[in-house]
Amino acid sequence: MSSIIQLLPDHVANQIAAGEVVQRPASVVKELLENAVDAKATDIKLIIKDAGKSLVQVIDNGLGMSVTDARLCFERHATSKIRQAEDLFSLHTKGFRGEALASIAAIAHVEMKTRPDQEELGTHIVIEGSKFMSQDVAVLPKGTSFAVKNLFFNIPARRNFLKSDIVEQRHIIDEFLRVVMAHPNIHFTLYHNGSEVFNLPQSNIRQRIVNIFGGKTNEKLVPVKETTDIVSIQGFVSKPEFSKKSRGEQFFFVNDRFIKSGYLHHAVMAAYEGLLKDGCQPAYYLYLDVPPHTIDINIHPTKTEIKFDDEHALYAILRSAIKHSLGQFNVAPVLDFERDPNLDTPYDYKNQEASVPLIQVDANFNPFSDDKPSKPSYSTYKKPDTSHWEGLYVGLRQETETLTAPVEIHFEQEEVTASLFDDHEQEQQTVKLFQIHKKYIVNPIKSGMIIVDQQRAHQRILYEKFLTNMTVRQAASQQLLFPLTLYFSRQEIELIAELQESLVNTGFVFESMADDHAVISGLPVNVAESEVSILLEQLLGDLQDGIPDSSFSQNDSIAKSMARSLAVKTGTFLNEKEQENIVNGLFACKDPNVSPFHKPTFITMRVEDLDKKFAL
């Protein structure tokens, strides 16, 4: 029997390894930026074309590589970061597995130029699909330039799985920001299709956060700092009033490495307990420094998940540190047993005695007594003269008789006309709608009753209205007396710019748009000014994974998001007129049976069904 197990060729093994390391252009960006940081660079440039599909290039002024290192770095499991297995538990660098460059070179055209500081000449290497095409000596600046072109050129199936340029660009920016925020002491620049997207000079952590997310971010930040034997924590959290529906600006860094941790996120949410509105998320930028031997980084190919030795202690320390910071900066409510100075006696009256009232009452005075006191016990009150009291009633009897005489009153009568409707129609008009538990609307009909879900029904009504407005492009707008200025991060502004045409078709009027804010001078008719910020945040959260390519799908996504934000919520009391409008509006829709999210809007219960229930 012939052998059926055989060793894979190196180029096939590299392509398989690339499936774990390189999933999209953003994965290449992450690996190359981390290598540049490990090379002790102080200035790093990232150049992108066509959302990384055509070109991903990283240029740094780091240590550079010798001729031997330049050739050896493309081999599998070749790394300068570790020497033995024990080194995995004392890592201070980013890349250490030694598969990134080999995997990238297996699925793209790679061109590397590098020169160490002590050498006069550098090395220029070209690789296409794991094959070395050329290696030359060249005059180069200090550092390394790594260009990855035509990603997945030899794996078309993987290339077909890539999303649109907008989606891939958002993933690249996310990976770029995760590295940039971890190293504020490095100057980073990002170019996309020839235009500068980010230019972040060397700064401290707070300035780096403000430079990325806009100047308005500075007033939202509350500093957090705590040092223990287990962990050292520093960073910032946002004030509760600036919380959002989306979870965009939430960052954990452990030993300058971005990680994802639902357990630590729960600790942050526990610190905000009682301070946030339902469904809102705080922003946080937290940097944790722990001893390297107490964590295990090598549990995930992308190294975004970490296992801690003592998670419970870390949870308690993080929660208490954030809670202390929120209370220290008067963000969280605290018990105050001190007296209120506003209740103190004013200074001018503090030492004065109370004045005696001028009017006094004689307690011994009896109006029915015949004896008159010889000397009254008061001096400020004078008894009225009652000697001629009979004269007060002269003529009163005659006036009373005149007023009580009967007066003839005439009323205007209305002529009763015949009814415009027959008795059956009048009976139908007297049917009332009922609201149950502020959630369902009950509408009696001839065969039984219809039970309508008020939230889903209103979503369907608004969805079809917005979709019609965007299709016909005849939406009405209400002009604001004072334009509304809303502040967003740079990524959110770019997303709004992509959606601007569709939003204008719904009734929004954008007066201007800058890098960190948008000025809105008009709103759709049924949108209140206080709801604009919530509506746009919900829209950005719903479209966080990317904007659909086709205009119809884009309009559909916007209409769904706006309908969900503006629809009446479960628990809202509706008067009889509002209930009637929702029921009538629902059955005037093209598809009243389901909500925009394909859930039933109403059910019908027949009298026969009720009879069966009672027959049991």
What angle do helix axes 551-566 and 532-542 make, rounded to 10 degrees?
A: 130
CATH topology of domain 212-328: Ribosomal Protein S5; domain 2 (3.30.230)
The answer for residues whose C-beta is within 8 angstroms of residue 392's C-beta and 6 or more apart is none
State how far the alpha carbon of 532 is from the alpha carbons of 523, 535, 537, in Å. 8, 5, 9
pLDDT value for 20: 59
Q: What is the pLDDT of residue 18?
A: 56
Q: Please, what is the end-to-end C-alpha distance for the chain in angstroms?
A: 73
Angle at CA 569, nearest 5°, toward 564 and 574? 130
CATH topology of domain 10-200: Heat Shock Protein 90 (3.30.565)
Instruction: List the CATH code of the domain at 435-603.
Output: 3.30.1370.100
10-residue stretch averages of pLDDT, the chain, 616 residues long: 67 60 87 90 94 92 89 73 52 59 88 91 91 90 93 85 82 91 94 90 92 85 91 92 81 90 91 84 92 75 75 92 85 57 62 71 75 54 61 61 55 53 48 85 88 92 88 80 85 82 87 85 85 84 64 79 88 89 91 90 89 81
Q: Report residue 492 as tokens.
A: 């959110």
Contacts of 601 (CB under 8 A, 6+ apart): 452, 453, 456, 457, 460, 586, 592, 593, 594, 595
| Pairing of the two strands 221-227 and 232-238 | antiparallel
Kindly give the pairing relationship between strand 295-296 and strand 257-259.
unpaired
Q: Directed axis angle between helix 551-566 and helix 454-472, to 10°?
A: 140
What was the pLDDT predicted at 424? Answer: 47
560: nearest Cα among 492, 464, 496:
464
Distances in Å between the Cα of 589 and the Cα atoms of 11, 201, 441, 460, 468 are: 58, 55, 17, 8, 11
Please check whether residue 230 is in contact with residue 317, taking contact to mean a CB–CB distance below 8 angstroms.
Answer: yes
| pLDDT number for residue 420 | 47
Among left, alpha and beta (phi > 0; psi -120 to 50; other), residue 585 is: alpha
Q: Which part of the chain is CATH 3.30.230.10?
A: 212-328
CATH 3.30.565.10 domain extents, the chain: 10-200
Strands (E), 514-612: 517-524, 602-606
pLDDT of residue 425: 46
Query: Phi then psi for 484, rounded to 5 degrees?
Result: -100, 125
Query: In what side-by-side order are the strands of the sheet with 195-200?
Result: 131-138, 122-128, 109-115, 143-149, 55-60, 43-49, 187-192, 195-200
In the chain, where does the domain assigned CATH 3.30.1370.100 lie?
435-603
One-letter amino acid of 591: D
